[in-house]
Amino acid sequence: MLKTNNLGYWYTQQKNSLFENVNLEFKAGQSCAIVGQSGSGKTTFLSLIAGLDKPKEGTIEFDGSDINQIGLTNYRKKDVSIVFQSYNLFTYMSPLNNLLTALAVTQSSHAGDKDFAMDMLRKLGLTDAQMKKNVQQLSGGQQQRVAIARTMVCDAKLVVADEPTGNLDEDNTAEVIELFQQIAHEQGKCVIIVTRESTVAKACDNAYRLAKHEFSMI
């Protein structure tokens, strides 16, 4: 589903590149963790495969086509869905409107389907009252569940998450990991999770370690 070809990236201020000649492949229906120490370049790598930034070297292929060919905006709209550490919801909307807005913007097949969105939020543990009040009135765990629900209702087949459990306690972390497994196994999507936590890595189907500018399978 997703392939990197000789991917390389460096920030202009830095002497060394963060990574070079990265050739990885991620498959649909599987979850994959990328672990590494803080500052190793995990977020940078994720921003490349999420289409938020362009690689300095190499290419990224999605379903056989270069994502530059697809167009980064179009790629983000149709093919990739991102879950952030800080949730990144629309703060002036209710959970329900967050989902409906995402459905509309990504022109997903369930766009405008209010019942579908409400079902998903219910499945993720939100009450009907909660899904209609402002999203900022929810707890961190609930907000992250809304962000994951947003990913689950949209059509994008690639889900990337940057430290999705970084702000959560143990119970919530376990729940969120379980949700990502569902996305991979039940929805058949490709899930890539960037994390520092080895518990998260262990729960995923595959895992890579980014250390000393290299990716290695663990």
Ligand X SMILES: Nc1ncnc2c1ncn2[C@@H]1O[C@H](COP(=O)(O)OP(=O)(O)O)[C@@H](O)[C@H]1O
Binding site for other proteins (CB under 8 A): 43, 47, 50, 52-53, 73-78, 82, 84, 86, 88-93, 97, 101-102, 104-106, 134, 162
E-strand stretches of the chain:
2-9, 19-22, 25-26, 31-35, 57-62, 65-66, 80-83, 158-162, 190-195, 206-211, 214-217
Q: Write down the least CB distance from residue 104 to ligand X, Å.
A: 31
At closest approach, how far in Å is the CB of 23 from ligand X?
19
Indicate whether 97 belongs to the interface with Mg ion (CB under 5 A): no
- Rounded to the nearest whole angstrom, what is the least distance from the CB of residue 217 to other proteins in the complex? 25
Residues in the chain: 218
> Number of C-alpha atoms within 13 angstroms, CB side, residue 13?
0
Q: Which does 39 bind (CB under 5 to 8 A by kind): Mg ion, ligand X, other proteins, none?
A: ligand X
Hey, which residues between 39 and 78 contact ligand X (CB under 6 A)? 39-44
Q: Which among 47, 63, 64 has a CA at the least distance from the CA of 7?
A: 47
**Residues forming the site for ligand X (CB under 6 A):** 11, 13, 18, 36, 38-44
